[in-house]
Chain A
Amino acid sequence: AQSVTQLGSHVSVSEGALVLLRCNYSSSVPPYLFWYVQYPNQGLQLLLKYTSAATLVKGINGFEAEFKKSETSFHLTKPSAHMSDAAEYFCAVSRMDSSYKLIFGSGTRLLVRP
């Protein structure tokens, strides 16, 4: 079975500060891992994905994540927060074998203070 845990339902940072959103996964098979962002009244937009290639993954809008198998983690980071980064972020896992089914974490709302 697969599952995802996101630590911290809310994270608050100052503009220009480091953003760190935590994600731990559980999977009995090599996982595919994703980070999505959701702005108010919108659907989900893919930020980045890990699909068993490079462990350090770079995504859009300056975000990146590192896959650490030993820690079963896939934390999302951005060196310098911008006001426009305020949104909800979801980590998701998939087997990507015979199905594209995504299992999502509970989400982390990022607040950016001016």
Chain B
Amino acid sequence: KAGVTQTPRYLIKTRGQQVTLSCSPISGHRSVSWYQQTPGQGLQFLFEYFSETQRNKGNFPGRFSGRQFSNSRSEMNVSTLELGDSALYLCASVGTGSDEQFFGPGTRLTVL
């Protein structure tokens, strides 16, 4: 079965712009989490969605937002981009009754 897919894989934006990243979980998975990976801060939890509801949120400014659709696909949005938002954004999904998170390949965002 297909894994977690993320689009786009690479993105270049300039400061002040906004960006939307997409994540399609494994078929049947209802939980989607997002993580930011940077060389300085490592892997940090952004937020988690389950059945279209945000279940948990990390310590990020309000410029970072997300949502989940009825088909479990998720998007995250970053407004007013800053240079420090340059990172690899990873999405992970979990099946009901499982404890294993399956990660997508990530979206590499570069802010110039």
- Chain A residues with CB under 8 Å of chain B are 32, 36, 41-46, 49, 51, 90, 92, 94, 96, 98-107
Contact = CB atoms under 8 A, between A and B. Distances in A.
Contacts of A36: 103
Interface string B39-61: 00011110010000001101000
B101 A102 contact: yes
Interface of B: 4, 31, 33, 35, 42-45, 48, 55-56, 58, 90, 92, 94, 99-106
A101 to B, nearest CB: 5
Contact of A100 (B58, B90, B101, B106): B101
A46 B42 contact: no
Q: Which of B56, B100, B101 has the most CB of A within 10 A?
A: B101
11 contacts: A43-B104, A43-B105, A45-B103, A46-B101, A51-B99, A100-B99, A100-B101, A102-B33, A102-B45, A102-B92, A102-B101
Most buried by A among B4, B31, B44, B103: B103
Contact of B33 (A49, A98, A100, A106): A100
The 7 residue pairs across chains A and B that have the minimum distance between CB atoms: A43-B103, A104-B43, A44-B103, A99-B56, A43-B105, A106-B42, A100-B94
